[in-house]
Amino acid sequence: MRAVPLDQDAFGRPFAFDPSRAMHGDPSDSAPAGAQVVQERPRSMPQKVLDLPSPTALPSDDATAKRWQDANKEWWESNPMRYDWREEIGHEPGTRAYFEEIDRRFFAAARQYLPETWRPFDALIDFASLRTRDVLEIGVGHGSHAGLIAPYCKSFTGIDLTERAARMTGRRFEVMGLHGRVLQMDAEQMSFPDGSFDSIWSWGVIHHSSNTRRVLEEMTRVLRPGGTATVMVYHRSPWRFLVEDGLLKGVLRGDLFRLGSLVSVNQAATDGAIARFYTEREWVELVQDLFVVERIRIVGQKTEALPLPAGRFKTFATEHVPSRLTRAFTNDLRMGSFLVADMRRR
């Protein structure tokens, strides 16, 4: 495994992963003007795995799998999904205001590519059907989706690889008066009995795990017969892989010449120690013996359709270009970086 610190770019200049490529939300959102900045733990620069032989490669042996998962855990313990890349949250960690600000940033970005009718993500989540379902969420982060789902389902269980995410989501449940359980657990080795859940939700998580296939196998084990799963993994579109990573970052910025491969350029610019990117066909082939894929939707953040350097001009463009136009590119033309699969256990 080749791992490099994230404090250098292809030419050794100061560099961290590109926040606009942090796929779970739009980092251009900031705290309200005048908000008091309360520093949680500073973000560190853990190592990334850059020598994947392909965008969907799985570990070749147990030793590699362990190294990758250790790197994965270290990354997310150090860089939790708080949506605070450009500005601190502005509230005391663990308070209601803190979680509400995280949700504001995340859901504001999501509305641009996934308009809602009455509740965030209602285009993907059938809230009415949850009342009879035991739901598992894989990868709770700071609990934004848990806060959406838990009030509507029969029972809610959330797991996360990291101690921090499990602890903070557990705290969210306390301060928000939510019911459910949140556990620190590796999704590749879940401790639940067979057939424990009716539905699984996972947003932008399992492609980061050391062995995505093993997570899928565990999902089928803990689902009841006919159980459903909705997962978002990263989509390898020509725009993202060839234009953004290949041309703009690889050639024009020079990353390809130092890192040696387009896959390495892609990994260096992405959140997480490791991340896989799938085409629609590759995803279906990966899961077809475990799940029936009922639907695949491709969506993407507004910023993906505006490949501009971070700054005032990009902020202006993001605020003034109509979201329906960028959705035509990311969603209708299927160039977005989110592959959302609705699946049913075989």
Q: Using the predicted structure, report yes or no on whether residue 44 has a pLDDT greater than 60.
A: no
Q: Tell me what pLDDT residue 1 has.
A: 38
pTM score, whole prediction: 0.88
Q: Using the predicted structure, report yes or no on whether residue 305 has a pLDDT greater than 90.
A: yes
Distances 292 to 128, 195, 343 between C-alpha atoms, Å: 23, 17, 5
Question: Are the beta carbons of 23 and 271 closer than 8 angstroms?
Answer: yes
Q: Tell me what pLDDT residue 306 has.
A: 92
Strand pairing report for 291-299 and 277-278 = unpaired
More confident residue, 41 or 130: 130
More confident residue, 182 or 44: 182
Interhelix angle 163-176/62-78, rounded to 10 degrees, is 40
Q: Using the predicted structure, report yes or no on whether residue 247 has a pLDDT greater than 80.
A: yes
Q: Which tokens hold the place of 254?
A: 């020079």
Q: What is the pLDDT of residues 125-146, one digit of tens each?
A: 999 999 999 999 999 999 999 9
Interhelix angle 163-176/96-113, rounded to 10 degrees, is 100
Lowest-pLDDT choice from 36-50, 194-208, 250-264, 308-322: 36-50
Question: Are the beta carbons of 340 and 230 closer than 8 angstroms?
Answer: yes
How much of the chain exceeds pLDDT 90, in percent? Answer: 78
User: Taking residues 325-329, what's their average pLDDT?
Assistant: 97
Q: Using the predicted structure, report yes or no on whether residue 85 has a pLDDT greater than 90.
A: no
Mean pLDDT, rounded, of the chain = 88
- Measured in degrees and rounded to the nearest 5, phi and psi for residue 39 equal -80, 125
How much of the chain exceeds pLDDT 70, in percent? Answer: 87
Q: Give the separation between CA 226 and CA 220, rounded to whole angstroms.
A: 10
Q: Which tokens hold the place of 157?
A: 């269980």
Confidence category of residue 309, pLDDT binned at 50, 70, 90: confident
Confidence category of residue 272, pLDDT binned at 50, 70, 90: very high
Q: Give the separation between CA 89 and CA 107, rounded to whole angstroms.
A: 15
Q: Tell me what pLDDT residue 21 has.
A: 47
Q: Give the separation between CA 213 and CA 216, rounded to whole angstroms.
A: 5
Q: What stretches of the chain adopt beta strand conformation (E)?
A: 3-4, 48-49, 134-138, 155-160, 181-184, 197-203, 223-235, 277-278, 291-299, 338-345
Closest to 282 in 3D by CA, of 233, 336, 218 = 233
Closest to 264 in 3D by CA, of 66, 54, 71, 72 = 54
Instruction: Return the number of other C-beta atoms located less than 10 Å from residue 107's C-beta.
Output: 18
Q: Using the predicted structure, report yes or no on whether residue 238 has a pLDDT greater than 70.
A: yes
The dihedral of CA 260, 65, 56, 302: what is its sign? negative
Lowest-pLDDT choice from 29-43, 175-189, 261-275, 292-306: 29-43
Q: Tell me what pLDDT residue 294 has.
A: 98
Q: Tell me what pLDDT residue 45 has.
A: 59
User: Taking residues 193-221, what's their average pLDDT?
Assistant: 98
Question: Are the beta carbons of 7 and 15 closer than 8 angstroms?
Answer: yes
Q: Give the separation between CA 156 and CA 314, rounded to whole angstroms.
A: 39
Q: Tell me what pLDDT residue 24 has.
A: 57
Q: Tell me what pLDDT residue 310 has.
A: 81
Q: Give the separation between CA 225 and CA 220, rounded to whole angstroms.
A: 9
Q: Tell me what pLDDT residue 187 has.
A: 98
Q: Using the predicted structure, report yes or no on whether residue 31 has a pLDDT greater than 60.
A: no
Question: Are the beta carbons of 307 and 340 closer than 8 angstroms?
Answer: no
**Full set of structural domains in the chain with CATH:** 3-31+44-345 (3.40.50.150)
